[in-house]
Structure formats: C-alpha cells, structure tokens
Amino acid sequence: MIRALEPVSGLEAMAAARELGGLDFDSVRDLRKLASGPGRLSEALCVTRPRDNGKDMLSPRCDLQVRDDGFVPDGIETTPRIGITKSADMPLRYVIAGSKFLSRP
C-alpha cells in the first residue's frame, strides 16, 4: 500500500480533485494537504476501488503506474505500522527518512 507521496507535478489537478482552493504550492504545509495519507492520496490521484483494484501498476499497459524516476533517497527507515491492532508492532512501514509528506511521522 502506498500511503503518501510528495507531490512534484500535477499540483493543480490534485488540488482540484481534492476540492482544495487557494493552496500555496511553495508551502510544505499546503502541499501536505494533497497526498499525505492513503485517503488524501487516492482522492488526489482519483484512484477508486471499483475502477483500480487489481491493476498491475508495474505493467506498461496499465493506466495507473509506478515508475522509476531515478530518485535515490538518503535513507529508508522502518517504523511500526499505524492505525491497526493486529501485528501493529511489526516494522512493516517503510518510509523515506526525514520526509515531511508522511501521514504521521
């Protein structure tokens, strides 16, 4: 599950999809409102369960894709999972170290 992203392009479209007007796209605080959490992320990218469940996001034929843009983070951290009770203490949440765009640090 992709839980959040740092928006770098399509900011106006994401804001429109989330019905957020007047955002300052130079402000991290405002950018976090676009996709910091699974609900916000899905809404910003117009991802819906009926249309997108089961898609192969690695397939070049898929209209919803995860692609390698060459970005290499300085570090990856594992943290306990959040918002669940079963196996919550297992370090199965992988985050880019120091990212300001997580739903919760």
Residue 66, domain CATH: 3.10.300.10
The pTM score is 0.81
> Residue 69 sits in which domain range?
11-96
Q: 5-55: per-residue pLDDT in tens?
A: 999 999 999 999 999 999 999 999 999 999 998 899 999 999 999 999 999
Question: Would you say residue 78 lies in a domain?
Answer: yes
Q: Give the chain as a DSSP string.
A: ---B----S-HHHHHHHTT--S--TT-HHHHHHHHBSHHHHHHHTT--HHHHTT--TT-TT-SS---------S-EEEE---S-STTTTS--EEEETT-S--S--
57 located within any domain: yes
Q: Does residue 103 lie in a domain region? A: no
Q: Residue 36 domain-assigned?
A: yes
Give the number of domains in the chain. 1
